Structure 1
Amino acid sequence: MLGRLNHVAIAVPDLAAASAVYRDTLGATLTEPQALPEHGVTVVFIDTGNTKVELLEPLGENSPIAAFLEKNPAGGMHHICYEVDDIIAARDRLKAAGARVLGDGNPTIGAHGKPVLFLHPKDFLGTLVELEQA
């Protein structure tokens, strides 16, 4: 079921400042910021060749990232994303095994234009897991 690692997401309080660290200090090439109002975030991706790093900044009052940053004001790792061949089959298998799918359980469209789901961190060793349709 589990496919390749798609990205590791880092929540940041200031996307421009975080982008500058990756660009100027690490020499990374970054995408342009992309607002995702349906997810309450603005994102920038860094391609590392074998996977990506996603920088997330809160967008709007109800951003799920805002609560994370209240607890971690400097930012930090927010979630890890894996690809799956069939997101509906993966969801059904995980639910049957007792895993909790966040939201209403239906995929939404993520930053890459593909269906995504999030899994409760308490079911995955304290890590928020995102699944993305390959």
Structure 2
Amino acid sequence: MKLGRLNHIGVATPSIADSIAHYRETMGATDIVEPFDLPEQGVKVCFVNTPTDSGMNGTQIELIEPLGEGSAIRGFLEKNPLGGQHHVCFEVEDIAAAREWFEGKGKRILGPTRIGAHGTPIFFVHPKDMMGQLTEIMETPKGAH
């Protein structure tokens, strides 16, 4: 298993609209993807794209807002009402091999491998096994970079 690039940093927010305004007005962001719902994960998602000098894809900020009462993000926001960093996401070439590798290292995987916001397979590794940081592992999107 080889760790790939940092794809995005997930930021939980009580309001994607307010967060978009913040990134535009305070941070000068101009490349913001229109928010969309991921009902199977119980979230509304929006990506703020960061620029790079090399022409490659920059790291994204993934804004995540609860969608529905059963959203896992809702619990995070109850503890952190202003929102905040929720997870980091790294790319891997082969999601099945990565999952096997993490499990072989005794790391706890949270739930099944599923399709994430980028349309590729993902899984999450428990924060207690990752130095306190919820970590998303994502198969590199085809044709990326």
Q: For residue 135 of structure 2, give the secondary structure of its aligned residue in structure 1.
A: strand
1:23 is displaced (CA, Å) by 1.2
1:41-66, Cα deviation, whole Å (9 max, x unpaired): 10110111321001110001110100
Q: Secondary structure at the match of 1:20?
A: helix
2:123 corresponds to which residue?
Answer: 117
Query: Could you tell me how far apart the structure 2 residues matched to 1:25 and 1:78 are?
Result: 21
Percent identical residues: 54
2:41 equivalent in structure 1: 39
State the distance in 2 between where 1:15 and 1:86 align. 31
Unaligned runs of 5+ in 2: 52-57, 141-145
Once residues 126 and 34 of structure 1 are traced to their aligned partners in structure 2, the CA distance between those partners, rounded to angstroms, is 29
Look up the match of 1:66.
74
Q: Secondary structure at the match of 2:110?
A: coil
- Structure 1 distance, partners of 2:32, 2:40, is 22
**C-alpha distance after superposition, 1:92-123 (max 9, x if no partner):** 011011000001xx311111100000110000
Q: How many residue pairs were aligned?
A: 132
- TM superposition shift of 1:26: 1.3
Query: CA shift at 1:79, angstroms?
Result: 0.2
Question: RMSD between aligned alpha carbons?
Answer: 0.8
Q: Deviations over 1:79-98 (max 9, x none)?
A: 00000010100100110110
TM-score by length of 1: 0.96
Measured in 2, the distance between the counterparts of 1:119 and 1:56 equals: 18
Which secondary structure does the structure 2 equivalent of 1:102 belong to? strand
Residue of structure 1 in register with 2:64 after alignment: 56
Counterparts of residues 1-134 of structure 1 (less than 5 Å): 1-28=2-29, 29-49=31-51, 50-103=58-111, 106-134=112-140
**Deviations 1:7-50, CA, capped at 9 Å, x for gaps:** 00110011111110001221212110010001111011011132
**Contiguous gaps of at least 5 residues in structure 1:** none
